[in-house]
Amino acid sequence: MAAIQANAVNILYLTAAICFIFSLKGLSSPESAHGGNGYGISGMIFACIAAYLCTNCTPIDFAFQLTVLTIIIGGTIGISIAQNISMTSLPQMIAGFHSLVGLAAVLIAFSVYYAPWLFEIVPPGSAAVPASSFAEMSIGAAIGAITFSGSVVAFLKLHGIYKGHRIPLSLNAFLCSSIVCLIVYFVTTKSSTVFLLLTILAFIFGAALIMPVGGADMPVVVSMLNSYSGWAASGIGFTLHNDLLIITGALVGASGAILSYIMCKGMNRSLINVIFTPEPSVASPDAATEIKPFKQGSPEDAAFILKNAASVIVVPGYGMATSQAQHALREMVDLLKKQGINVKYAIHPVAGRMPGHMNVLLAEANVPYEEVFELDEINRDFSCCDVAYVIGANDVTNPAAKKNPGSSIYGMPILDVEKAKVIMFLKRSMGTGYAGVDNELFYSQNTMMLLGDAKKTTEAVVKAI
């Protein structure tokens, strides 16, 4: 009977792992994302059934009832958050969920340390825990603590509660080296005091690591924290001898790391540069900037130009997220397409506050996937485009990234909107973006500034059309 149960658990774990792999594959494209979510949910159900079989519990046991109760409570909270969260707040929700994964890893590591027999690592009453288990639980706890505190800081920054502070590089280097030394010392001594100290330092290091990161770099931070949460889960999987945790954690960790690399490549920077370059100070415009002449247009002017264009490329940025202009934008594009105008959407890899932020917003407005193009696919089309309709995308369209070696965004690949015949910028004001760099396109002869709330402006354009 025990052998049959063990085989059933292994089959369920394997099935769950396969479902998670297909889930990641599905989530790689908006068209298959719904199916990917379905695979992920199925995999989690299989994993929960396998976990139940491992416990030898029956429905009348208190432990089983308590577990079911916590699943119901947690699931209810999760559904409530998911149903009520706005698309603008999606990045901080993801950061918040990452923090819970990290905290779970810390709590499991301490549970294993104080009661290893409950996890069948050693026989009941035995204290002979293998040294490898101490290494795994300390690494898992450290990564989990870094993930938790780093995600909390990211949540606060994304939500606008905390602006960030410059942290000396020497402090972060000291914390990192101290954690590594304490892990080695803990494996040698197995001291509870050392374990507690390295965990506390990991909490501090996680917060200090994210504090100085600029708002424009948050897409990289979100994907990096996602990777951390995966490695934390994988480390605890080794401690618990749980193959599914190891596989799933490795999948999440590796995919998050790859995504971080893609984000960094999109900014032409390294991950080290993103994490250890402090957030630039965004100064108010100086007198010279304030008196620069620029062309300010009205929604009626924009509507006239758009109706007489043959091709339009829409460039969404964080301004679209803050104003929730995606539905009005979709309505405007539908009107233009009815008049035979070719319209496409251009997405920069790091536009918004999380990977794929603009894609999510456009999907919410039911924008057809085939009309949305990445930077490499659409950049060549700007030169033959009549109108570039830019909504709050400042830094990812700034020519300073190509022309000014002294600029903080120099070398970052940008969308070549300056090649369009007419550029329309929708912004609340003439202020700079998150990088704190003024965009010379605002003052170009072929640029029309549409100042104000992007949603209200686009709705006015729709009315004029």
Q: What does DSSP say about strands 422-427 and 387-391: parallel, antiparallel, or unpaired?
A: parallel
Mean pLDDT of the residues in the chain? 86
Helix (H), strand (E) counts: the chain: 18, 6
pLDDT recorded at residue 285:
42
Look at residue 21 and tell me whether its pLDDT is greater than 70: yes
Nearest to 141 by CA among 91, 80, 202: 202
Query: How confident is the model over 381-386, as a mean pLDDT?
Result: 94
> Which pLDDT band holds residue 283 (cuts at 50, 70, 90)?
very low
**Helix, strand, coil in percent for the chain, rounding step 5:** 65, 5, 25
Superfamily the domain 288-464 falls into: TPP-binding domain (3.40.50.1220)
Tokens matching residue 280: 């630039």
3 state SS of 451: strand
The question of whether 217 is a catalytic residue gets the answer: no
3 state SS of 57: coil
Q: Are 346 and 314 in contact (CB under 8 A)?
A: yes
Look at residue 204 and tell me whether its pLDDT is greater than 60: yes
Q: Are 417 and 382 in contact (CB under 8 A)?
A: yes
From the list 395, 416, 438, 453, the catalytic residue is 395
More confident residue, 21 or 4: 21
> Which pLDDT band holds residue 281 (cuts at 50, 70, 90)?
very low
